[in-house]
Structure 1
Amino acid sequence: MNLTNQNTQKTLTPNPNSIQQQQPCSVPPLSDVDSVTKQLKGHGFSDKEIGIILNLTPSSSSSNVPFSLDSPIHEPFLKRGIEGDDDDDDDTDSFYMDPLPHESYASSSSSKRLKLYNFFDPKGKKPLIDDNNNNTIVISDSDDEDDQRKEITENQISLDLDINDYIITNETETNDSDGADDEIQTNVSIRRNRYRKYNKDAAKRYASQIHTVSVNEDDHHVGHEIDDDVEHEVDVDDASPTPFSEAIKAIQERIAKSKKKGVVKESFIWVPKRNGEDLVRERFRVPSLQEMSLKILANHADGMVSLDGVSDELKQRLSALVCDSRKMNCRFLELLLSGFPTHIRLKDCSWLTEEEFTKCFGMLDTSILEVLQLDQCGRVITEYTLLSTLAKSPSCLSRLISLSLTGACRLTDKGLQLMVSSATTIRSINLSQCSLLTYASLNILADSLGSILKELYLDDCILIDAALILSALKQLKQLEVLSLAGVPTVCDKFIKSYIIACGQNIKELVLKDCLNLTDASMKVIATHCPGLQALDLMNLYKLTDLTIGYLTNSCRALRTLNLCRNPFSDEAIAAFLELTGKSLEELSLNNIKKVGQQTTLSLANNAKKLHTLDLSWCRNLTDNEFGLIVDSCLSLRSLKLFGCSQVTDVFLNGHSNLEIQIIGLKLCPLLQHIKEPNPNQGALRYSSASE
């Protein structure tokens, strides 16, 4: 087909070989004529145009003389085809076709162009199918007639044109027409390939939300976008099956056997271990004398006059209880800071003013401090207050190992420079929600602490650009914990570059709410982080079952995993638990809609070390599943069931685990179950301070 875009008169020349085969046609049956005439009149076609449409016998069809399109009689109906720019009203970019013979409506073995017009469209004469960008004529890629023709409803007319019957030429066409034709065909082919690739990627992306992704990851190549203009493909080895694919296959065979027996879902019956008579026996743990004493002291904190002789561990626990009860004040803070403490943990400093902060910490002996936690410190941490309290002189915090300043909304890069110059031995630093920090802060940390820093938390630091901090992060060679939750610029390219360079030491990675991450990042993490023990993937909606496969095949040392609000399938999670569940201690499946019986069976059979489990909003689970999990996982001590309104007293009063605490049901206290640092834990999570 030769198409030209020159602004000259265009003619439609019949193919001689095709014209000899055309036969005169008869007028359609009267009933069809009346029906079509009413539809065409209702959309503005004149009687003359309707006559042209229904009397489809071209006067020059038996000759080799080109059809002239200068006659206005053909223009109203025949002006169709390739439309120009919508903003351009010039008609020179359209071409004309002579009336089609009636045989063109009949089936043909040759390749066809098919156009469907909706005559109830208020604009009229508008094609229903436009699959080739601006071309309103659809060229089929297949010789199969079933693939070319669409189902024609009673309100549509099919216009078929054999692509070999007519050749669009130009009166001023030169000998370079073949070159132009090749160029046009090349452009069409490029657009078609891009369109196919887009549809293929979109289908894979959306299919995971409706159906389970194929169980064998080795049969797929998943494409992902990395940044705006860099495309990366996750290459999967097709040579041999993986442990994950084998586990998935076994699960599917188990489901198939159940269905063959007439069971839609694999059923099992959990038998409650307790009955109404056993309820006399108290289920809940009796608090120790120490716990009751600390609660009483926290409730009467205003009456305390001294904490001399109290260990740092008990001070930390008492401080947490006082903060929870909102009774922390300047007087009680002075009691905590007295007696040369080495560990100071304040989980809520929002009540402090700059004057109170300066007064309390100005008299503190900072030379012996090892742990300093001032969370939610808000407006009190500024350059001025630091110079008068914690950063009076260089190296005044010479023994400080762990520093937490979360929520310091007035801490700047210069203020951080003052802290780092005073504490040159910091191994763990938490700067989450410090909204004024920029990439310059990472350069400060890399220059001062590059060889010793092991833990870094940058959650929700909105001004930090991941691309700009990459070089500084690579200088932190000893880093074991990296938390980038909520940093919007974290992407696949950043993860790949950093993990390949420094992933061998990473033990904990928090990527919660990094919405741009895909399966490509998870493959890099699983491959290059052999010692990974904790991973937080909360709310990464672009992930698929391939991520579970990568973690299953490579991360066998995982102890803590958060998969909250992700579109993973029941079978994939079950396969993961079959192979790695024996090492898991904490697992969150919060709001994973597809969690069901397969996951339940895998948890019951493998998660023997699991002590914390979150199944909130897993509405497919019933008393049957919850009972089997709790009675089988003997180490389970905490079960979160927020949003699980399907839970009944059959499970609550029938399970046999007397040590478990079920959180999230009605009248359940919440504050005491918020996860806090263990007071018995050292300054670092995975290493000792002496290393």
Structure 2
Amino acid sequence: MTMLRSREIPSVSGKPRPKRHSSDVIQPSTPARKQEPSAPSPTNKTFRRRSSRLESLNGVTAKEVSISVCSKRKSNGGEMLLSLRSGKKVAKSCDGIETSGNDIGSEENKAFGDLVEETKIVSKEKGKGKAVMAEQVLLDQGKGTVEDSCHVESCEKPSSSVSRRKYTREEKAKGIQVDTRVGVQVMEMEMEIDVSINIQSPPVTQPSINNEQNQNGNASRNQHFRDFAEKNASRFARFDAEMEEEEELSDKEVEQQVEDWPGPFSTAMKIIKDREENTILHDGDGVLFSSDIERSSPIVWAPRRSDSFTSPPPTAPSLQQLSMRVLVKNADAITSLDYVPDALRVKLCQLLCDSRRMDVHFLGLLVRGSPTGICVPDCSWLTEEQFTECFNNCDTSNLMVLQLDQCGRCMPDYVLPSTLARSPKSLPMLSSLSLSGACRLSDVGLRALVSVAPAITSINLSQCSLLTSSSIHMLSNSLGSVLRELYLNECQSIDLNLILTALKKFEKLEVLSLVDLPSVTGRLLRDFVTARGQALKQLILTNSVKITDSSIKDISENCPNLRVLDLANVCKLTDCALGYLANGCQALEKLIFCRNSFSDEAVAAFVETSGGSLVELSLNNVKKVGHNTALSLAKLSEKLQILDVSWCRDMSDNALGYIVDSCSSLKVLKVFGCTQITDAFVRGHSNPSVKILGLKMDPFLDHLAD
């Protein structure tokens, strides 16, 4: 085996080394051979190879060709000597190559290049994992100034059985110091040799193999992911042409603006904007402040002095409230509800359900005799057997109001023929039916109920997940001329596209609730309000995410008698929607907004033009409302009783104090999430009749009591 060892030899003398010329490069003389892949040099800079190809050079045997290459520069001649163990030397001066002994200069010089190539074979056999050319190793070790010397030693034993020979310090001192140009020229020479050789399979180094494998692996993984995405794209890619068309139509209408000048809403908007621009405060030095942060609120409100504040005296509960509390605590001891008015029965049932004390004993008292109303807001505790026992012998001939909410556990289809629908005239007087949460009621059960109650005017089918569009068609055919209220909240199996024809058959429909129905679109809503919008008084569209400004325009133009409108979480609406409502719906009494993107100026303009009739207004999480809305509410909302400004953190103490003191009819103010409110407002307002809900450290459900 042949070993190649390199080491950087420091200069022996302190004198600077003379510069070498380009002729100092040792030219290889061995025959050109096929280039083999190389591996990175080990950490000890030692190269090993099998010495099986060296031929005799001018009488030198293969054993003698195992050489230790050392180059010395004579101080006077600047020569390079290539010493062989056979005693022969090859000398290379700055001007050319001189040989001593046998004339083997050309062939032995080629041996240097052959040794460099032989190191590549050994590197591939050892499988070090990286390929570094011998010339590059020389460049890296020399760092542009000094080249490592190579010591090559061969042995007749196989490379696997030969241990590495340790060199003495004297042997290590025989290294060769060559300029970096030697390695560069050797590399160029090998490139010329590679071109001259016909190689059937070009050599591939180990790093290139790894790179190709990595690239192939990455390409295969990317292709796998691409194929998977193309295969499953149809499951996620959904295109609704009608929705896209409606959005484009809405965008065009928004660009055209709300109304022609000078309408009331546009006039109010212009006045408010002019007021904003003209409201610039001057301090004592005449410095101007902008209207955003540096400028204080234009609302002037003087709270009461804290020392003069006295909490309102506690009011004693009424005798009725005290009696109801006693009855709720002792409901199991009640033996009869005769001569108790229906209003007190409803209230007592509500208190029992809220306190989780409702049981089958009290339900038996409600159904005893011939009641006119049975109202149980929570029947989740009731079983099928208990329901059957209570209503099996109940006289429902005079029953007008039946409320059995959350009755999914006790009311499947098969118990109705023996209870509520046991005869064709079981419910002749029933006008209001509420079965919210009847998750086991299907189209068959509802048909059985409606068949024995032909006078129903109000029906609540919220959260009845088994009902389909055929139930609405059945209702339209049976109750189309009498039904006034229809609640279809969260009925996910009902598609509005399939029931639009049925909805148009309700001639006297006044209340329509379509909460959280994904099938509600602007086109369907336009068709319905165009046909039946004249009689509509309440429209609840909570979570109807497809509703746009054009839908609000259709509502305002076709629903002049609208009293209640719920647009909570309808996030696509803009200020133009408020303009449509202000110009078309002048009789609104209850308006619910939540998480809408209306501006402060638009809400203020709406209040100024249509806020005179408002009794309840919710601006929950409409974050842009501020002092402009407060000014309009304080001046023009004389009938306002309930105001919700929860999470409206631009409402300052001055703004809320101004509203509360100015709105004498205000009874409830909700300020949940308004962390900016301080005691200056809470203790400084002068309206004793208002109840503030949502203050910090207050009981969260205190407003539900009584």
Decide whether the 8 Å contact of 2:372 with 2:400 is kept in 1. yes
Question: What is the distance in 1 between the residues matched to 2:316 and 2:652?
Answer: 29
TM-score (norm 1): 0.63
Give the superposition deviation at 1:259: 3.1
Query: Which residue in 2 is equivalent to 1:412?
Result: 442
Name the structure 2 match of 1:403. Answer: 433
Q: How does 1:448-597 map to 2 (within 5 A)?
A: 448-597=478-627
* Secondary structure in structure 2 of the residue aligned to 1:355: helix
Whether contact under 8 Å (1:285, 1:659) holds in the other structure is no
1:599 is matched with 629
| Alpha-carbon contact 1:607-1:633 (below 8 Å) kept | yes
**Equivalent residue runs for 1:302-451 within 5 Å:** 302-451=332-481
Of 252, 275, 283, the match for 1:254: 275
1:666 shift after superposition: 3.5
The answer for the alignment partner of 2:298 in structure 1 is 267
* CA drift at 1:239: 4.6
Q: Distance in 1 between matches of 2:271 and 2:523?
A: 35
Question: 1:227 aligned to 2:252?
Answer: no
Cα deviation 1:134-180 (Å, max 9, x = unaligned): xxxxxxxxxxxxxxxxxxxxxxxxxxxxxxxxxxxxxxxxxxxxxxx
The AA in structure 1 aligned to 2:276 is: I
Give the TM-score normalised by the residue count of structure 2: 0.62
SS at match of 2:629: helix
Q: Which has the larger radius of gyration?
A: 2
Return 5+ residue gaps in structure 2 as ranges.
1-239, 283-287
* Secondary structure class of the residue paired with 2:565: strand
Distance 1:387 1:565, change over 3 A: same
Q: Is the CA contact 1:274–1:656 (under 8 Å) kept in the aligned structure 2? A: no
Q: Is the 8 A contact 2:462 2:491 kept in 1?
A: yes
Give the whole-Å Cα distance in 2 for the aligned partners of 1:441 and 1:638.
40
- The 1-side partners of 2:259 and 2:403 are apart by 50
Q: Distance in 2 between matches of 1:327 and 1:238?
A: 56
CA shift in 2, pair 1:310/1:626, >3 Å = same
Partner Cα distance (1:390, 1:530) in 2: 39
**What letter corresponds to residue 611 of structure 1 in structure 2?**
Q
Q: Which residue of 1 aligns with 2:26?
A: none
> Is the CA contact 2:421–2:452 (under 8 Å) kept in the aligned structure 1?
yes
3-state SS, counterpart of residue 428 of structure 2: coil
Please identify, of 567-576 and 252-261, the stretch whose mean Cα deviation from structure 2 is larger: 252-261
Contact 2:299 2:658 in 1 (8 A): no
Offset at residue 325 of structure 1 (A): 0.3
Cα distance change, pair 281–450 in 1 and its aligned pair in 2 (3 A): closer
The answer for the alignment partner of 1:181 in structure 2 is none
User: Partners of 2:241 and 2:643 in 1: how far apart?
Assistant: 33
Q: Percent identity?
A: 51
- By how many angstroms is 1:228 displaced? 4.5
Tell me the CA shift for residue 274 of structure 1.
6.0
Equivalent residue runs for 1:68-107 within 5 Å: none
How many residues were matched structurally? Answer: 452
Q: Cα deviations across residues 31-78 of structure 1 (Å, max 9, x unaligned)? A: xxxxxxxxxxxxxxxxxxxxxxxxxxxxxxxxxxxxxxxxxxxxxxxx
Secondary structure of the structure 1 residue equivalent to 2:630: helix
Question: In 2, Cα distance between the equivalents of 1:520 and 1:318?
Answer: 45
Paired with 2:351 and 2:700, the residues of 1 have a C-alpha distance of 13
Q: Secondary structure at the match of 2:375?
A: strand
Deviations along 1:545-572, one digit per CA (max 9) or x if unpaired, are: 0100000111110000001110000000
For the 8 Å contact 2:369–2:395, the answer to whether it is kept is no
Secondary structure of the structure 1 residue equivalent to 2:594:
coil
Distance 1:672 1:434, change over 3 A: farther
CA distance in 2, matches of 1:497, 1:344: 37
Amino acid at match of 2:389: K
Distance in 1 separating the partners of 2:698 and 2:643: 17
> The residue matched to 1:368 in structure 2 has which SS?
coil
> In 2, Cα distance between the equivalents of 1:663 and 1:343?
32
Return 5+ residue gaps in structure 1 as ranges. Answer: 1-223, 677-691
| Aligned equivalents of 2:388, 2:662: Cα separation in 1 | 54
Please list the CA deviations of residues 567-596 of structure 1 after superposition, one character each: whole Å capped at 9, or x if unmatched.
000000000000111100000000011010
Structure 1 CA distance for aligned equivalents of residues 433 and 469 of structure 2: 19
What's 2:310 paired with?
A: 279
